Structure 1
Amino acid sequence: MGGLSFLRRMSLQQKNRTPVSTASTSAEIVEEEPAQIATPETQTVLLLHAARQPYQLTEDYPVPQVEGDSEVLVRAQAIGLNPIDWKAPDFNFAIPELPYISGRELAGVVVQKPRHASRLKVRDRVLVISTDYRDLRKAAYQQYVVAFDYNTVRLPRTLSFEEGSTLGVAFVAAALSLGVCMGVDFSSVLDGPDLFSLVRGVAPEVLADDIRKECLDSIRDYERAVAGDWLAVWGGSSTSANITIQLAKLAGLKTIAIVDKAKHGLRLANHKSIRTDLLVDSHDPQRAVDIIRGNLKGKLRFGIDTRGKESATSLLQALSPGNLATAPPASKDSPVDSPPSPPATPHDSALLSAHLIGLTGLPKQTPPEGTLFHTVPIKLFHEVPAVGEALVSWLERLLSSGLVSPPEIIDVEQGLGSINKGLDRMRKGEISGGKLVVNVT
């Protein structure tokens, strides 16, 4: 009877995770965190076999293998659909090989943790942001996905998998647009990153040739956007605009959204997180430009376009050199005989440049004098671990604190096989002002 009583006591102690009195029994009940959860050898994926064709549901496709020490394996639960997922096959771009697996963001569960020390653990609920579209292991349209731990965000329990799958790519695009192209310092917002300084601290040879100039020479220190500056976002109803406005407001910027007011005006005006200081109807682009100029009277230096070349061209008119403000006086410590830095040296009479960032396209013309065009250096996120880690760690804090809210979910489709249906709905313009999500399970 005494032996049975002891076993019952041990069972109860293990269940409640209460340490027993002897060192030997205590060691026996400690459970180490597993390195992985058993996974199958094959899975179901969506494959694109040719441009301008639908994706094909394919079974018995190999589960991707973890290769590097910083990689994790995630079992997908929900996938967020993005315009690039239908535009790439329709217009035959950003498809590095065939057959191809697409998809840029998903939420799921970690089933294999990194080999090196990491903040991620097995069974963590996470958001995977896949900006590395050339590595098919990291594409979202499959049941199991490989990701760098520095491109993976732990989700708070307050967010569902569906909500978590809505904002990853938009967050990266918004943070890099604001932090790199505009120089916004987020250090006052939950110890966010100063991407302007972080990127300039990276060895130049680490940066890819096609983004090095944008990262290092696109904006001067004295021109950086600061609290109180104005930012205009054309296409303010998109997911990217949603997150951009939220982050800009957190940094103290004043915001303008140019949208179809009949469709989105009431929602934006009544939404606490994305309510802007000025809401302008996009129906008549020239009238929108006139309204912005009339209200801001030369104070608008920054614009982000989320729509395309035509709207970017309209936004450029609102950023014309005639609207530029003068730069702040140089400090007494500034060298008076230092060589000039284009577009101007910071002194009393210098003009601050205007900056236009195109998420999907820029005007065909060359930038007017005093205006600079920017493209978002998105590959910074997956090619420079320090940048990726800074962004995902910050996003974890923003989501846990509720300072950033996921975009509205317009609808949820069921199963990988429903992705083609969802993309058709996006082609037809049925999804606007929010996100379409696919529940994988």
Structure 2
Amino acid sequence: MSTQKALVVLEPKGAFAVQDRDIQEPGAGEVLVELRATALNPVDWKIQAFDFFITEYPAVLGTDGAGVVVKVGAGVTNVAVGDKVLFQGYFDNRRATFQQYAVVASEIVAKIPPNLSFEEASTIPLTLATAALALYSPKPQGIALAAPWEAGNRGKYAGEPIVVIGGSSSVGQQVIQFARLSGFSPIITTASPSNSALLKSLGATHIIDRSAPLSELPAAVQAITSAPVKVAYDAISAPDTQNAAYDVLAPGGKLVIVLAQAVDAGRLTPQKEVVHVFGSVQAPDNRKVGASLYAALPGLLASGEIKPNKVEVLPGGLAGIPAGLEKLRAGVSALKLVARPQENL
């Protein structure tokens, strides 16, 4: 069996190191991808710091990948050797993306159109899943809206408002784009004024300054629209943002969160729902919606209806990822940090 370089966490809450590891073989319905780019996400530094999801050490992390198909397993027909693809990794050493090769089920890979680089494509998978699965998966995984990539559903929610907390975050940007495809209007988001032009280009119609007191959010939304807000997506999901977003909702409304629920108990009412999304198309409960999304994704990317995040490429290949995770932990806005696994090794 051939070997590759991989960045691993040596032990629970331990240090990172670049090691040699075996390259895995794809099974039936799977493909082996030579990774050309992998994006960093907050979950990566959190796993290393707090030790969750992982059952095997040394552990390879990383859930955003783009590269070239180098082997296909039995029964694979949607992609072929040589295809440029993007995919979402998972929390095991076979499927994680902080390495030079990873295995993935072919039904959840998408061909990269010519208008995207590997680096741009690698910013898409996790944030795409976190946005789309929350909005369009059946309950309890999501809030069961009609998926706009399926026939007859484009623009279905025309005239209905949506509020997105943290619009300039990587997830927030994807939520705004899906909201536009679904027809929501107005699309109201909190963000720094410096990111207004970017977010409006993605589909946001109104920007509320993120530095304004959250207690003023319901009034700010009401000043924009008198229509009842039935959907709010909190891409930040701190306790204060969850409470503010919950207060914005009308009876019958649904709040999507990406971290553990922290809405004050005194606020909770049976008239409003809170849904915590697990943003992975790898998860069995999410696979059906994920496969449907990935079948449509090349077209959405080629048309520009779904755009990637802005990219900052890290130096040093896999060895540069730990410093990138520290930078991510300190806070970045409106961009994704990306490493090139084949570089400098």
TM-score (norm 1): 0.70
Other-structure match for 1:126: 85
Q: Structure 1 CA distance, aligned partners of 2:152 and 2:336?
A: 26
Other-structure match for 2:22: 62
Other-structure match for 1:399: 301
Counterpart of 1:314 in structure 2: which amino acid? A
Counterpart of 1:361 in structure 2: which amino acid? A
Other-structure match for 1:259: 191
How much has 1:226 moved relative to structure 2? 2.3
Q: Structure 1 CA distance, aligned partners of 2:49 and 2:118?
A: 29
Instruction: Give the paired residue count.
Output: 331
Q: Structure 1 CA distance, aligned partners of 2:205 and 2:143?
A: 19
Other-structure match for 1:371: 272
Moved more, 412-421 or 382-391: 382-391
How much has 1:296 moved relative to structure 2? 2.7
Other-structure match for 1:141: 98
Higher relative contact order (CA 8 A, sep 6+): 2
Alignment check: 8 A CA contact 2:130 2:280 kept: no
Query: Alpha-carbon deviations, 1:70-114, whole Å to 9, x = none?
Result: 111011101111111111222332223322110001111101013
Please give the secondary structure, in 2, of the residue aligned with 1:300. Answer: coil
Alignment check: 8 A CA contact 1:184 1:226 kept: no
Please give the secondary structure, in 2, of the residue aligned with 1:136. Answer: coil
Identity among equivalent pairs (%) = 27
Alignment check: 8 A CA contact 1:408 1:434 kept: yes
Other-structure match for 1:425: 327
Please give the secondary structure, in 2, of the residue aligned with 1:153. Answer: strand
Which residue, 18, 34, 45 being the options, matches 1:86?
45
How much has 1:309 moved relative to structure 2? 3.0
Q: Structure 2 CA distance, aligned partners of 1:356 and 1:405?
A: 24
Q: Structure 1 CA distance, aligned partners of 2:112 and 2:22?
A: 27
Other-structure match for 1:277: 205
Ranges in structure 1 where 5+ consecutive residues have no aligned partner: 1-39, 195-224, 325-352
1:41-60 counterparts in 2 under 5 A? 41-59=2-20
Q: Structure 1 CA distance, aligned partners of 2:329 and 2:280?
A: 26
Counterpart of 1:282 in structure 2: which amino acid? R
Other-structure match for 1:286: 215
How much has 1:376 moved relative to structure 2? 1.6
Please give the secondary structure, in 2, of the residue aligned with 1:111. Answer: strand
Structure with greater strand share of residues: 2
TM-score (norm 2): 0.89
Counterpart of 1:410 in structure 2: which amino acid? E
Q: Structure 2 CA distance, aligned partners of 1:108 and 1:299?
A: 44
1:227-376 counterparts in 2 under 5 A? 227-254=158-185, 255-261=187-193, 263-269=194-200, 272=201, 274-283=202-211, 284-297=213-226, 299-310=228-239, 311-319=241-249, 323-324=250-251, 353-366=252-265, 367-376=268-277
How much has 1:153 moved relative to structure 2? 1.0
How much has 1:185 moved relative to structure 2? 1.8
Alignment check: 8 A CA contact 2:133 2:290 kept: no
How much has 1:294 moved relative to structure 2? 3.4
Structure with greater helix share of residues: 1
Q: Structure 2 CA distance, aligned partners of 1:251 and 1:439?
A: 34
